[in-house]
């Protein structure tokens, strides 16, 4: 836990049951509908998130050069100023759909704006699902109208929005935190959907966060960037960046009178609370990773730079050999240190230490004595550690004071089955 987290912990309170998280902050409503973009009749596939008052907003988008129409539109709308609503459909990503796709994304913003009584450029649009298929706009139109008609601030409606944005996820993903100091209080709530390529054809990571804190757009943007770096950008299921990734936050200030969050300590507290929400959501994505049986945390410490630590953590997290070894519950330190070794980052074999679930297995260029000597008690202890559902790998580089953490899951037969048996 970073020191700022410890320091601020007394003021921020994770909400144990986050059901309805996205409408927990004051002044936010959610509405959902099923309009037939998904085939499962029992599901929801359209959601609107709405704030009574226009919000300071920030968002981060996929860096994939093949980028979906709603991403392009939302990027433009975000530039114009305040945001009042986000409309999200699942079942169709509206990606690789050319000019018609761009037109359809704009139409989604127009219908939502009309229903919500706001300007078109105050609406963000997000889509997730199959790519390369044009949206059925009759269905989309009915879906938005229907979702708008049942907008409300009950937890039930918030939770339905979380359900409406998922595709093949096995779980709904929500998180919320309440911040209380002597001077003020506010809530941050967030929802997200499956990572990497969880949806049948092409996945998309979407995340939406609301808060009733009062905060400027610039500060919000800086905090979101930091939070996403330490959460959504620190997870990988298969290393495949999607075409639709988007994380957006809306802050309406509804619960804070007076001036906006601007003092250093107040910003740090907001950052801590936001990190909690984004990290909780990011971990839920990994736990629900395709075919996942293990949750893996990779801590790279004592690196010469933060960048080096990140690069090494990512290479280890993406190595199919590391992921299959952990699936097989084998403490294959050789695969782990060699993945670190081929990362494009500073590493000195003779200073490197590796701990697996706090057990030192590799020390200064060689496996520990207990391994070389095939010590039976040590091997038993290690085997037991590998049977845990959560595996932590700590690579200590001995080169500096920087660190990074990545979360990933294992590679299983389930992963191959899901991705080889699916047909477009």
Quick one: which H or E segment has residue 97?
none
**Is 98 an interacting residue with respect to its own copies (CB under 8 A)?**
yes
Each residue 104-143 as x (binds its own copies by CB under 8 A) or -, in order, gives ---------------------------xxxx---------
Cβ closer to its own copies: 85 or 316?
316
Collect all residues with Cβ–Cβ distance below 8 Å to 84 and sequence separation of at least 6: 50, 51, 53, 54, 55, 116, 118, 119, 122, 123
Compose the 395-414 pattern: x for residues touching its own copies by CB under 8 A, - for all others. Answer: ----------------xxx-
Asked if 216 touches its own copies (CB under 8 A), the answer is no
Q: Given the rule CB under 8 A, which of 9-17, 76-84, 225-233, 339-347 is the region that contacts its own copies?
A: 339-347
User: Within a 10 A sphere around the Cβ of 66, how many other Cβ atoms?
Assistant: 13
Catalytic choice (112, 128, 204, 301): 204
Q: Does 19 bind its own copies (CB under 8 A)?
A: no
In the complex, what is the shortest distance from the CB of residue 414 to its own copies, in angstroms, rounded to a whole number? 9
- The answer to whether the CB of 203 falls within 8 A of the CB of 245 is no
| SS3 category, 254 | coil
- What is the residue whose two structure tokens read 């060689």? 366
CB nearer to its own copies: give 206 or 340.
340
The distance of closest approach from Cβ of residue 336 to its own copies in the complex, given in angstroms and rounded to an integer, is 10
349 counts as binding its own copies under rule CB under 8 A: yes
DSSP 191-250: EE---TT-SSS----EEEEEE---B-HHHHHHHHHHHHHTTGGGEESSS---SS-EEEEE
Binding of its own copies at residue 373 (CB under 8 A)? no
Residue 397: alpha-carbon gap to chain centroid: 28
Q: Please identify, using beta-carbon distances, which residue of 36 and 334 lies nearer to its own copies.
A: 334
Min dist CB 296 to its own copies, Å, is 14
Please answer whether residues 60 and 246 qualify as being in contact, where contact means their C-beta atoms are separated by less than 8 angstroms.
yes
Please give the Cα distance from 318 to 409 (Å, whole number): 9
How far apart are alpha carbons 237 and 169 in whole angstroms? Answer: 13
**Is there a catalytic annotation at residue 204?**
yes
Instruction: Indicate which residues carry an active-site annotation.
Output: 204
Q: Which residues bind its own copies (CB under 8 A)?
A: 63-67, 95-98, 131-134, 197, 201-202, 238-243, 318-321, 324-325, 327-328, 330-335, 337-342, 347-349, 352, 362, 364-367, 371-372, 411-413, 415-417, 419-424
């Amino acid at each position: 836990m970073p020191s700022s987290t410890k320091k601020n912990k007394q003021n921020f309170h994770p909400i144990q049951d986050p059901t309805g998280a996205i409408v927990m902050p004051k002044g936010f409503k959610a509405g959902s509908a099923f309009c037939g973009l998904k085939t499962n009749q029992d599901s929801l596939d359209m959601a609107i998130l709405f704030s009574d008052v226009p919000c300071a907003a920030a968002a981060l988008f996929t860096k994939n050069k093949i980028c979906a129409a709603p991403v392009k539109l939302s990027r433009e709308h975000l530039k114009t100023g305040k945001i009042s609503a986000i409309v999200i459909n699942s079942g169709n990503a509206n990606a690789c759909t050319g000019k018609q796709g761009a037109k359809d994304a704009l139409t989604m913003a127009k219908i939502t704006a009309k229903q919500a009584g706001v300007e078109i450029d105050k609406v963000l649009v997000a889509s997730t699902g199959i790519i390369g298929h044009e949206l059925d706009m009759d269905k989309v139109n009915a879906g938005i109208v229907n979702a708008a008609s049942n907008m409300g601030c009950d937890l039930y409606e918030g939770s339905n929005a979380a359900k409406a944005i998922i595709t093949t996820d096995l779980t709904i993903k929500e998180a919320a935190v309440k911040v209380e100091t002597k001077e003020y209080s506010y809530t941050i709530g967030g929802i997200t959907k499956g990572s990497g390529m969880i949806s049948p054809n092409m996945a998309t990571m979407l995340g939406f966060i609301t808060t009733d804190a009062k905060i400027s757009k610039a500060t919000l943007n800086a905090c979101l960037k930091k939070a996403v770096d330490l959460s959504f950008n620190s997870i990988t299921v298969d290393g495949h960046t999607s075409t639709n990734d988007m994380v957006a936050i809306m802050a309406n200030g509804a619960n804070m009178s007076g001036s906006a969050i601007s003092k250093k300590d107040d910003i740090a507290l907001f950052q801590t609370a936001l990190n909690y929400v984004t990290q909780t959501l990011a971990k839920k994505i990994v736990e629900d990773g395709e075919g996942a049986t293990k949750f893996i945390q990779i801590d790279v410490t004592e690196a010469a730079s933060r960048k080096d630590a990140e690069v090494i953590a990512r290479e280890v997290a993406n190595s199919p050999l590391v992921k299959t070894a952990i699936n097989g519950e084998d403490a294959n330190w050789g695969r782990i240190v060699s993945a670190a070794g081929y990362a494009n980052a500073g590493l000195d074999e003779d200073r490197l230490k590796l701990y697996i679930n706090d057990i030192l297995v590799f020390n200064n260029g060689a496996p520990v004595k207990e391994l070389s000597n095939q010590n039976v008690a040590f091997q038993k202890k290690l085997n037991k550690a590998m049977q845990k559902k959560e595996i932590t790998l700590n690579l200590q580089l001995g080169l500096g004071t920087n660190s990074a953490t990545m979360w990933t899951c294992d590679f299983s037969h389930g992963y191959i089955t899901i991705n080889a048996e699916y047909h477009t």
